[in-house]
Amino acid sequence: MPDATATPFDAAVEEKTLDDGADHWLTVADSVAERLAETAVERDRRGGHAAEARELLRQQGLLRLSVPAWAGGVGASWSLIYHVVRRIARTDSALAHLLAFHHLQVGSVLLYGSRAQQSRLLGGTARENWFWGNTLNPLDRRTLASDRAAGGFLFHGDKGFCSGALGSDYLTASAWYEASQSLVVAAIPTGRRGITVHDDWDAMGQRQTDSGTVTFDSVVVEPEEVLIAPGAPWTPATQFRSCLAQLVLVNLYVGIAEGALEEARRYTLEQARPWLAAGVDRASEDPYTQRHFGELWVKLRCAEVLADLAGSVAQRHFAQGDAITAAGRGETAVAIAEAKVAAHQAVLDITSRLFDIAGARATQRRFGFDRFWRNARTHTLHDPVDYKIRDLGRWALNRHFPEPTAYS
């Protein structure tokens, strides 16, 4: 397994954009990654709920990173949060995914909630170390909202792709309100009566992200728990959530690519044998192996730099809160699309060509190198990269910002 505390990829960190105290949290992330690496291959093979590994994230204080200082949290910038996620993803992208989606829900409360809601929910997160899960999937309209006599709503139905819901303390949840043909978004405790979180996630990759189904059976949503009421206008600020979500994916891809290339490097230096026609004594001296590393290094560096740039742009506009403008959101969406395309292409190429570099013996299950490709391939299907490229084409040609959607 790679030593997460000493890699060449850390040079990509834009020190000027990170917070004071960033070194501490990056060191914590490296330490957590090193611990997770000890069992990553075995846990990936087993799948299911990684309760102990999730608890490690909680114990190390990483759940408080995105909670503002005024609510008792760390108040870290998104630039730092994404770097923490990326470092953990080098060895365990599933647990990095869970951590990132926790922070996405905290960000959702900051973008959607009133100050009173933020104080209650984020103050509780800081004090009680709550782990947040996601049941906010705007495209999944199987969950419906109906009016409740005492005010608020009842949620009914199933919701899919609920990352982090299993084992969480709180959920962000959405439901479709037929009367106004719009969404209701709320924040509710996972343990509320009528909520059943199913352990039914069975994808080939990201196997410990607890991304299965959640069933709502007449779940009570109190009026004060509603973050976005049906028919409420979607502003550039509330539309900013999809920017934060897309940057989660970008940094997971980059982290997976960094981890895979480091594994390929370590294996080449320590175990690989040169091909008989190479005429060299060590695999690291093979000119074709060197070519692979050179090409992949450039792809990875491009993805890292664009991810860092997008993180800086996102943080700059996120800090404006309700004052985020359509132009600010558009600028962020373009920067993220650039990073997403570069990271998508880099991670699929690196995780596949790892085997061209390492050779047939590297396919042994004990190494677990296949998990990098399986995780990348599963996650890069989240939304079609073709539409990101189309958005960038529209921008490059006509200077049209990407249309705000749940995925752009």
- Band of pLDDT at residue 8, cut at 50, 70 and 90: low
Q: What is the per-residue pLDDT for 344?
A: 98
Arch. (CATH architecture) of 134-228? Beta Barrel (2.40)
DSSP at 8: G
Closest C-alpha to 196, from 229, 171, 175 = 171
DSSP at 368: -
- Band of pLDDT at residue 5, cut at 50, 70 and 90: very low
Q: Helix (H, G, I), strand (E, B), or coil: what is residue 408?
A: coil
Domain 238-398 - what CATH class? mainly alpha
Q: Is the model's pLDDT at 9 over the cut of 70?
A: no
Q: What is the per-residue pLDDT for 6?
A: 46
Q: Extract the tokens encoding 269.
A: 């230096």
What mean pLDDT value characterizes the chain?
A: 94
Q: Is the model's pLDDT at 201 over the cut of 80?
A: yes
Q: Is the model's pLDDT at 13 over the cut of 70?
A: no
Q: Where in the chain is the domain with CATH 1.10.540.10?
A: 8-132
Q: What is the per-residue pLDDT for 7?
A: 58
Buried b (16+ CB within 10 A) or exposed e, 372-387: bbbbbbbbbebbebee
State the virtual CA torsion across 314, 317, 321, 324 in degrees, nearest 10. -120
Q: Where in the chain is the domain with CATH 1.20.140.10?
A: 238-398
Q: What is the per-residue pLDDT for 12?
A: 46
Q: Where in the chain is the domain with CATH 2.40.110.10?
A: 134-228
Q: Extract the tokens encoding 364.
A: 């042994």
Q: What is the per-residue pLDDT for 217?
A: 98
Of 133-147, 183-197, 326-340, least confident by mean pLDDT is 133-147
Q: What is the per-residue pLDDT for 10?
A: 63
Residue 288: which residues within 8 A CB-CB, separation 6 or more? Answer: 275, 278
CATH topology of domain 8-132: Butyryl-Coa Dehydrogenase, subunit A; domain 1 (1.10.540)
CA distances from 303 to 94, 251, 338 (A): 20, 9, 9
Measure the N-to-C terminal CA separation of the chain; round to a whole number of Å.
35
Q: Is the model's pLDDT at 14 over the cut of 50?
A: no
pTM: 0.94
Per-residue pLDDT tens over the stretch 362-403:
999 999 999 999 999 999 999 999 999 999 999 999 999 999
- Band of pLDDT at residue 17, cut at 50, 70 and 90: low
Q: Helix (H, G, I), strand (E, B), or coil: what is residue 173?
A: strand
Per-residue pLDDT tens over the stretch 121-156:
999 999 999 999 999 988 888 999 999 998 999 999
What are φ and ψ of residue 206, in 5° steps? 45, 50
Q: Is the model's pLDDT at 111 over the cut of 60?
A: yes
Q: Is the model's pLDDT at 157 over the cut of 70?
A: yes
Q: Are 123 and 109 in contact (CB under 8 A)?
A: no
For residue 222, with 0-12 CB atoms within 10 Å meaning exposed, 13-18 middle and 19 or more buried, which class applies?
Answer: middle
Q: What is the per-residue pLDDT for 137?
A: 86
Q: Is the model's pLDDT at 164 over the cut of 80?
A: yes
Q: Is the model's pLDDT at 15 over the cut of 80?
A: no
Q: What is the per-residue pLDDT for 1?
A: 41
Q: For 95-119, what is the mean pLDDT?
A: 98
Of 44-58, 270-284, 323-337, least confident by mean pLDDT is 270-284
Q: What is the per-residue pLDDT for 138?
A: 82
- Is 3 or 221 the better-scoring residue by pLDDT? 221
